[in-house]
């Protein structure tokens, strides 16, 4: 522009530039506005999905609270869990519903279904804490199902540090199931230390350590 000889020449250049580029600028502005609108609409949709999933999940919690469920109640709970996962599968509440589904299956003595529900969370969740909970519960089930080696492998997954005490506790259970007493003792002591350091209540671990001592005293 500095080389132009007059204001008329400058105006003429602006007119020609606008004629050549104005349409694309308008189109770009329209697309940008549409993008903002689309993003806001998507955000609103996601919030609506999350709120709806929250309501359904609370219904599930209320439905499964209290005493053991009878067959009809269990069937209704399972149906609601499926509905939450089908309709709101990308939300946190769908993953929490699967964790609850695993608990119900364990209460019914159905370890296979419990494992299946937890594996869906470990394989698909992008939320490390929820995924870690599922790994820990899977490991506990594997110990109960006579597979402590499998449990130890699960405990090597990248479990979040905030659950390290629980991780060490279950590791002790797995070693105890394998008859590896010293490794079990070390794992349970670590669990207690972590729980005390983080002010996390961890029930039953001291009793396990006391039982180890009692067993050694009788040998």
pLDDT at 23: 53
Q: Which residue has the higher pLDDT, 56 or 134?
A: 134
**pLDDT tens string 124-150:** 999 999 999 999 999 999 999 999 999
Sign of CA dihedral 169, 170, 176, 180: negative
Which candidate, 52, 101, 51, places its Cα nearest to that of 81? 101
* Burial of 116: CB neighbours in 10 Å, binned 0-12, 13-18, 19+: middle
Identify the weakest region by mean pLDDT among 59-73, 97-111, 185-199. 59-73
Q: How far apart are CA 61 and CA 103, in angstroms?
A: 12
Average pLDDT of the chain is 81
Identify the weakest region by mean pLDDT among 17-31, 94-108, 182-196, 201-215. 17-31
Q: Which residue has the higher pLDDT, 212 or 24?
A: 212
Contact call for residues 121 and 95 (beta carbons, < 8 A): yes
Identify the weakest region by mean pLDDT among 66-70, 82-86, 150-154, 163-167. 66-70
pLDDT at 16: 54
Q: Which residue has the higher pLDDT, 22 or 125?
A: 125
- The distance between the two most distant Cα atoms of the chain, rounded to a whole number of Å, is 107
pLDDT at 34: 52
pLDDT at 45: 43
Query: What is the CA angle 111-117-122, rounded to 5?
Result: 115
pLDDT at 41: 45
């Amino acid at each position: 522009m500095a080389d132009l000889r007059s204001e008329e020449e400058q105006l003429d250049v602006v007119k020609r530039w606008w004629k050549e580029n104005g349409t694309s600028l308008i189109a770009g502005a329209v697309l940008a506005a549409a993008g903002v609108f689309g993003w806001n609409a998507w955000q609103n949709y996601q919030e609506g999905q999350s709120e709806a999933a929250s309501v359904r999940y609370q219904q599930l919690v209320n439905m499964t609270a209290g005493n053991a469920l009878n067959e009809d109640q269990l069937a209704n709970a399972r149906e609601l869990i499926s509905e939450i996962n089908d309709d709101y599968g990308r939300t946190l509440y769908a993953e929490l519903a699967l964790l609850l589904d695993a608990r119900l299956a364990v209460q019914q003595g159905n370890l296979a279904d419990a494992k299946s529900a937890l594996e869906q969370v470990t394989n698909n969740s992008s939320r490390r804490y929820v995924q870690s909970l599922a790994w820990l519960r899977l490991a506990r089930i594997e110990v109960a199902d006579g597979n402590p080696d499998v449990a130890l492998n699960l405990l090597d997954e990248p479990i979040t540090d905030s659950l390290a005490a629980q991780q060490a506790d279950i590791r002790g259970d797995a070693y105890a199931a394998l008859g590896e007493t010293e490794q079990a003792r070390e794992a349970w002591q670590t669990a207690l230390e972590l729980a005390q350091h983080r002010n996390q209540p961890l029930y039953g671990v001291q009793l396990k350590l006391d039982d180890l001592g009692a067993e050694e005293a009788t040998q």
